[in-house]
Structure 1
Amino acid sequence: MSGIWGRAQQQDFRGRVRGCLLGGAIGDALGAAIEFESLDAIRAAHGPGGVTDYVTAYGRPGAVTDDTQMTMFTVEGLIRAHVRRDAGGWHPPTDVHRAYLRWAATQAEWGPDERKKDSGWLAREEWLYARRAPGRACLAGLGDDRMGTLAEPKNPQSKGCGTVMRSAPFGLLVGWEPELVFQLAVECAAQTHGHPTGYLAAGAFAVIVHALAHAEPLEAAVQRTLALLAVHPGHEETSEALRRALGAVRQGLPTPERVESLGEGWTAEEALAIGVYCALVAEDARHGLLLAVNHSGDSDSTGSICGNLLGVQHGETALPPGWVVGIEGRGTLLELADDFAMEMTQAATVNSTAAWLERYPAR
């Protein structure tokens, strides 16, 4: 997209950002109560069709997990990176890492620390101070202040899906070239997961989202991502998983059993493949999201990834209204989405205001 945004472009982009964050949160919430259940157990508890609506988890229907929490802090880190760029500082991996440390604090502390004046508004949202089965590698990687890098990554043997499920926001950097989006997502994934599959799958997901944000078809986006991946050492598992997702589309009607042929979603490449497959075969958002969570595996993460893809592809209006209304933290998600869209399209206007700098401190 060009540097000059027309009103129609701004509205389209805002709808895609909202759709990406809300869709991911809805998929996350649909899978939250069943992520550790087998498909047989899901069907026994919820009927032959499995889960068809929010099921109570963490004390309420529509509750989100660490997937949505970390995605939100990715967004916040990217906004603050752009604010710092306009204030004279620019190193996005550092800003995202600081945002992830703020998320880690929500997993260890009872509530916001009002003494931290530079924490920004998101870290003051009390409802985010809740542990929702956070991944061990994410917690360990953010257990101290040292930032993992590609040269010295945290948890070098880890390739869990905790990298992919938080990386959709990198793809919303529509003014960036795909290669730079990929690189940033990879560098930020290495802050917690150092296995090449862990961080390359995150980069691949970000590039797919980036293409969808530019209104490219999903299959074309995956094919272009495969070409980008091919030059990176250690890409084989991620590339093969994406090729299997494309192949599964041509093997017949989508079923939970076909989803399970792609894996269980605990690892980065399997979660990415399942999310991509379900988005490719989705008749609509409801169908795709339910397909993405009703399987034996990491249902909330695969649902989240699928929801990110469907939301950015079709915009917020394509999401089932009842699910949108019922999602935990909807107001915060919409506020964050609109702030991101404003920062990306109207930075020159907002970054000079005291209110914006209080929300997103440039330090």
Structure 2
Amino acid sequence: MVGGTAGPVWGRREQQDFRGRVRGTLLGAALGDALGAPVDGLTADGIREAHGAEGLVDLAPAHGRRGAVTHHTQLTLFSVDGLIRAQVRRDTGAWHPPTDLHRAYLRWAATQRDWGPDERREEDGWLAREEWLYARRDPVRTLLLGLGDDTMGTLEAPKNPGAAGPEAAARSAPFGLLVGWDPQLVVQLAVECAAQTHGHPVACLAAGAYAVIVHGLARGESLDAAVRRTLALLAARPGHQPVSDALQHALGAVRQGAPTPGRVTELVGNATAEGLLAAAVYCALVGEDVRQGLCLAVNHDGPSAAAGALTGGLLGALHGETALPPAWLAELEGRPTILELADDFAMEMTQGPALHGPAGASAAWLARYPRRA
């Protein structure tokens, strides 16, 4: 895995747009996750029985509060942390982003074992010391096994080679925010990092496809154009057909009349990664606004939290932070941390050399994102 390309030229307007899309992506993914969490695992009939004829149309209690997020959001935040650390460590000549992402995911795994951040080392950085992240939010066994030791899964020797679930894709939106990178490199990074927990080719390629769709949106493309460009990129990769077919199915479903939970359930299929990706693309394409798109994404027979997180990441990257429902944002668990991390990411990507380049370094920045492994 080699690194990115020279980044874009950042004027004030471009910086503001990028920051809004970064915030939108991370907050949108978290909102979708939080919306789907209370009904995760329920059928569409079960959701209507619990929440009325229209299904779930507002945040509801899960994990002891409204607006609670799950492991999807936790891991997405550690993806951002790992990407920032990779950029900072590049100054040392150590440039292997999958390794930095793996270390970040191991820091997440520690939050699932430890009572709190008291034992965190200085080199773990600030995110690992956020106490609210020390909560188990139904992580699937695949994640815990994949990150249960220090050995990093690779494409040649992946962890859990039979695992085809959506969890790797659901943490991969931040890779798409590397807007200065070539799209092929975005796909490659997401695929390599997916193999650290989900080794099935469908899971890896779905993560890569999702990341590069977000990449197109963050660069100002329409969702339809971003999906079609992703299909062209996937075509050169062995084993792409299930993911490509699922994306084509999503595009075709848009022309089949008014959206229904049944159509989303059909796209989700057996709840593997390509089906959840297709459902998310469909919901983001047909939703009249963010709220409607997210509600459609969680009211079906499949994994609602993953579908909501994937859809929210797309809608946030497409429309930016200002399009997200303010009332939901006000109740979102961890919102201050998400905003802080989003702004740090935008700062690193637009002004990184001034923070830790050869001409000088900010001690405060290096305390937040240490160069030490």
TM-score band (shorter)? over 0.9
Residue matched to 1:110? 115
Instruction: Provide the rounded CA distance (Å) in 1 between the counterparts of 2:74 and 2:240.
Output: 28
Checking the alignment, whether the CA contact within 8 Å between 1:19 and 1:319 is kept in structure 2 is yes
- Can you list the C-alpha shifts for 1:3-23, whole angstroms capped at 9, x where unaligned? 431000000000000000000
Residue type of the partner of 1:17?
V
- Can you list the C-alpha shifts for 1:126-176, whole angstroms capped at 9, x where unaligned? 000000010211111000000000010001111111111000000000000
1:302 aligns with 2:307: yes
Checking the alignment, whether the CA contact within 8 Å between 2:120 and 2:128 is kept in structure 1 is no
Q: Number of aligned pairs?
A: 363
- The normalised TM-score by structure 2 is 0.96
Equivalent of 2:330, from 325, 331, 342? 325
* Counterparts in 2 of 1:115 and 1:337: CA distance versus 1, 3 Å: closer
1:84 deviation in Å? 0.4
Q: Which runs of 5+ in 2 are unaligned?
A: 1-5
Residue matched to 2:277? 272
Equivalent of 2:241, from 215, 236, 243? 236
- Can you list the C-alpha shifts for 1:306-362, whole angstroms capped at 9, x where unaligned? 000000100000001001111000000000000000000000222210100010011
Q: Which runs of 5+ in 1 are unaligned?
A: none
1:280 deviation in Å? 0.6
Residue matched to 1:287? 292
1:113 deviation in Å? 3.6
1:254 aligns with 2:262: no
Equivalent of 1:72, from 71, 74, 77? 77
1:160-199 pair list within 5 angstroms: 160-199=165-204
Checking the alignment, whether the CA contact within 8 Å between 2:291 and 2:324 is kept in structure 1 is yes
- Can you list the C-alpha shifts for 1:228-270, whole angstroms capped at 9, x where unaligned? 1111111111111111111110100111111111125731111
- Can you list the C-alpha shifts for 1:90-129, whole angstroms capped at 9, x where unaligned? 1100000000000011111111144511110000000000
Residue matched to 1:358? 367
* Counterparts in 2 of 1:117 and 1:273: CA distance versus 1, 3 Å: same
Residue matched to 1:151? 156
Checking the alignment, whether the CA contact within 8 Å between 1:198 and 1:269 is kept in structure 2 is yes
Checking the alignment, whether the CA contact within 8 Å between 1:264 and 1:296 is kept in structure 2 is no
Checking the alignment, whether the CA contact within 8 Å between 2:7 and 2:181 is kept in structure 1 is no
Equivalent of 1:53, from 32, 50, 58? 58
Residue type of the partner of 1:168?
A
Checking the alignment, whether the CA contact within 8 Å between 1:16 and 1:213 is kept in structure 2 is yes
Instruction: Provide the rounded CA distance (Å) in 1 between the counterparts of 2:312 and 2:91.
Output: 32
Residue matched to 1:23? 28
Residue matched to 2:3? none
Shifted more, 349-358 versus 308-317: the winner is 349-358
Checking the alignment, whether the CA contact within 8 Å between 1:265 and 1:272 is kept in structure 2 is no
Residue type of the partner of 1:108?
R
1:211-222 pair list within 5 angstroms: 211-222=216-227
Residue type of the partner of 2:218?
A
4+ runs of 1 displaced by more than 3 Å? none
Instruction: Provide the rounded CA distance (Å) in 1 between the counterparts of 2:7 and 2:159.
Output: 37
Instruction: Provide the rounded CA distance (Å) in 2 between the counterparts of 1:258 and 1:309.
Output: 19
Residue type of the partner of 1:307?
G
1:88 deviation in Å? 2.6
Residue type of the partner of 2:64?
G
- Can you list the C-alpha shifts for 1:18-43, whole angstroms capped at 9, x where unaligned? 00000000000000010111110110
Checking the alignment, whether the CA contact within 8 Å between 1:178 and 1:207 is kept in structure 2 is yes
Equivalent of 2:106, from 101, 118, 137? 101
Residue type of the partner of 2:311?
C
* Counterparts in 2 of 1:2 and 1:97: CA distance versus 1, 3 Å: closer
Residue type of the partner of 1:102?
R
Checking the alignment, whether the CA contact within 8 Å between 2:284 and 2:311 is kept in structure 1 is yes
Shifted more, 1-10 versus 175-184: the winner is 1-10
Checking the alignment, whether the CA contact within 8 Å between 1:265 and 1:274 is kept in structure 2 is no
Instruction: Provide the rounded CA distance (Å) in 2 between the counterparts of 1:345 and 1:265.
Output: 40
Give the fraction of aligned pairs with identical amino acids, expressed as a percent: 66
